[in-house]
Amino acid sequence: MVLFGWQHWSKRVDYEPGTGSKQLFPKMHLETCGGPLSSVRTTVELQNNHIGKGCDRETYSEKSLQKLCGASSGSTDLLPASSASTNWTASLVTDSGRDSDLIFRFDGHQAAKIPDWVVPQNLTDQFTIATWMKHGPTPGLRAEKETLLCNSDKTEMNRHHYSLYVHNCRLVFLLRRDFTQVDTFRPAEFHWKLEQ
């Protein structure tokens, strides 16, 4: 029995970064039905299974990036490695990053509930939120809001004090003013268009 189509190719090819070029399909060939061919067109798509890195993989560790970008030394890591005192990340799916950086995978079904003592109730006039995120389109769920960070009332009203989320290909930051600043005008929402 003769099989037609592409022969001797592997769906998975392991490659270690920095090892130079590698032939993807050294023994692959196309078996045809014997008739004349005028042309053959193929497409090869490469995917990387590491959730935090792609073909443009980051070459700096998280600590190096914080130093390079001038992040405050007094910053608070909201998703630290799980320990006895920081156990809210224990159930999250992770992938190890460069220099043992922790990378978390969120698919809309899990979350981390960060204790009140870690997160400020209201943000001051000067603050920074830093995040590195790989985000792609979500088929069929385009209109749903994907929350990255939210601080809300613990009562039935569930009023958000601040929130960072993705909605309709936009990164949105919501910042409500404190009740003591009712007469002070300032914008409440900031939007950035995401390229994906």
Q: For residue 68, give the H/E element and its range.
A: helix 62-69
Count of other CB atoms within 10 angstroms of residue 9: 15
For residue 129, what pLDDT is reported? 80
Residue ranges covered by each domain of the chain: 120-196
Q: pLDDT band for 82, please (50, 70, 90 cuts).
A: confident
Kindly tell me the number of DSSP H helices and DSSP E strands found in the chain.
Answer: 1, 8
Spatial CA neighbour of 146 closest among 137, 154, 156: 137
Q: How far apart are CA 65 and CA 69, in angstroms?
A: 6
Spatial CA neighbour of 146 closest among 125, 126, 129, 170: 170
For residue 56, what pLDDT is reported? 46
For residue 182, what pLDDT is reported? 59
Q: For the stretch 102-111, what's the b/e string if a residue is b when 16 or more beta carbons lie within 10 angstroms of its beta carbon?
A: bbeebeeeee
Q: How far apart are CA 27 and CA 18, in angstroms?
A: 24
- pLDDT tens digit sequence for 142-193: 567 888 888 887 776 667 788 898 888 888 998 886 656 656 656 688 888 8
| Residue 16 and residue 48 in contact, taking contact as beta carbons nearer than 8 Å | no
For residue 172, what pLDDT is reported? 92
Strands 29-31 and 93-96: unpaired
Spatial CA neighbour of 62 closest among 48, 47, 81: 81
Return the structure tokens found at 154: 């613990």
- pTM given for the model: 0.58
Please give the residue that has the higher pLDDT: either 96 or 194: 194
- pLDDT tens digit sequence for 92-147: 888 765 555 678 888 778 888 888 888 876 676 677 787 777 776 666 655 678 88
Q: 135 - beta bridge partners?
A: none
| Residue 151 and residue 173 in contact, taking contact as beta carbons nearer than 8 Å | no
